[in-house]
Amino acid sequence: MQQVSAPVISAPPDGRAGITADLVRRLIAAQFPQWDDLPIAPVPEDGHDNRTYRLGESMTVRLPTAEGYVPAVEKESLWLPRLAPHLPVAVPPILATGESGEGYPHPWSVRGWLEGETAHPSRIGEMPSFAVQVAEFILALRRCDATGGPPAGAHSFYRGASLTHYDEETRRCLAALEGHLDTGPAAEVWQAALDAGWAGDPVWFHGGIAEGNLLVADGRLSAVIDFGTSGIGDPACDLVIAWGMFTGEAREAFRAAAGGDRGMWARARGWLLWKSLLVLTWTIDSASGSDQRTAAHCRRVVTDILSDHRQSA
């Protein structure tokens, strides 16, 4: 079997190392001294794009880990308060926006703490019901007024834009993964996604509907976080959770509740195929147990996408 000797695209660097509780304390003391006596601690489950710290019992501090994630600070501060009243579950309340300082080069934000835990399947009551709740959130977000909203582009890492932006990268991944998975049918899925171009009016999309950005309480969806890749454009990217998290009855319940035509689902398969292939090139040769689990998940997702494409033909 052919070996992938190096990733097609290098995995993004982890910028979290220089962000510490001590830095957060100094930033708070310098810019928001009314909160400088509150305890600061990292959250148990953190992301890559931002580092998040608890500030007392009712707030969080969120700091971008790299320049590419900075546009989300202003975007979320401006738009989340406008979107929140129209959504069926909570989204992060923005309390303050900080400036660069104390050796940290980016703007950052203080937010209200949202109760709940990330949506691991073990924390969810009825998965089909949960899938419907996620679909209802996506549809409510689409119905929000898109006037003046940020058009899909670099700030959303091209979520909501045309898949052609990632065409070259996807084809490089397919070439590198030859012999590791069924790249012929995968190329067909990708081409079908490109052919099903978006022609509708731009609507709001989240851009990162996935387990880590969904919070649950008492087994139900309670909040949606991390709107860093949000914007207005094609909402197909929000359907990728159909294969990324849901299976069987839950997947069918999500599909029925979310609606959408054949073209939208073709583009959704394309979005997740691109990301799964890319992550697979980063992890397939790694000896790390975590990377091996990630690679296995990507293989399962690709298999499901190919099967779904065949069934839709």
Taking only Cα atoms into account, the Rg of the chain, rounded to an integer number of angstroms, comes to 20
Residue span of the structural domain in which 274 resides:
118-312
123 lies in the same domain as 230: yes
- Specify the CATH number for the domain of residue 78: 3.30.200.20
Question: The domain that contains 278 carries what CATH number?
Answer: 3.90.1200.10
Residues 306 and 173 in one domain: yes
In the chain, helix, strand, coil percent, each to 5?
A: 50, 15, 35
Is the pLDDT at 148 greater than 60? The verdict is yes
Residues 123, 102 within the same domain: no
Q: Which two tokens stand for residue 198?
A: 């978006």
- Residues 242-272: tens digit of each pLDDT: 999 999 999 999 999 999 999 999 999 999 9
181 Cβ contact list (under 8 Å, min separation 6)? 280, 299, 302
Give the phi and the psi of residue 25 in degrees, each rounded to 5.
-60, -40
Do 204 and 272 reside in the same domain of the chain? yes
Tens of pLDDT along 165-223?
999 999 999 999 999 999 999 999 999 999 998 999 999 999 999 999 999 999 999 99
9 located within any domain: no
Confidence of residue 45 (pLDDT cuts 50, 70, 90): confident
| Domain count of the fold of the chain | 2
13 versus 81: which is more confidently predicted?
A: 81
Instruction: Say whether both 169 and 211 belong to one domain.
Output: yes
Residue 96: its H or E element: strand 94-98
Residue 7: inside a domain, yes or no?
Answer: no
Q: In terms of domains, do 110 and 132 share one?
A: no
State the pairing for strand pair 203-205/59-64: unpaired
Separation CA 233–CA 217 (nearest Å): 30
Residue 138 pLDDT exceeds 90: yes
Q: Based on the domain organization, do 280 and 191 belong to the same domain?
A: yes
**Residues 131, 195 share a domain:** yes
Residues 282, 255, single domain; the answer is yes
Domain assignment present for residue 13? The answer is: no
Q: 6: pLDDT confidence band, cut at 50, 70 and 90?
A: very low
Instruction: Single out the residue in 114, 138, 159 at which a domain terminates.
Output: 114
- Residue 12 covered by a domain: no
Contact 236, 260 (CB under 8 A): yes
Task: Judge if 271 and 225 occupy the same domain.
Answer: yes
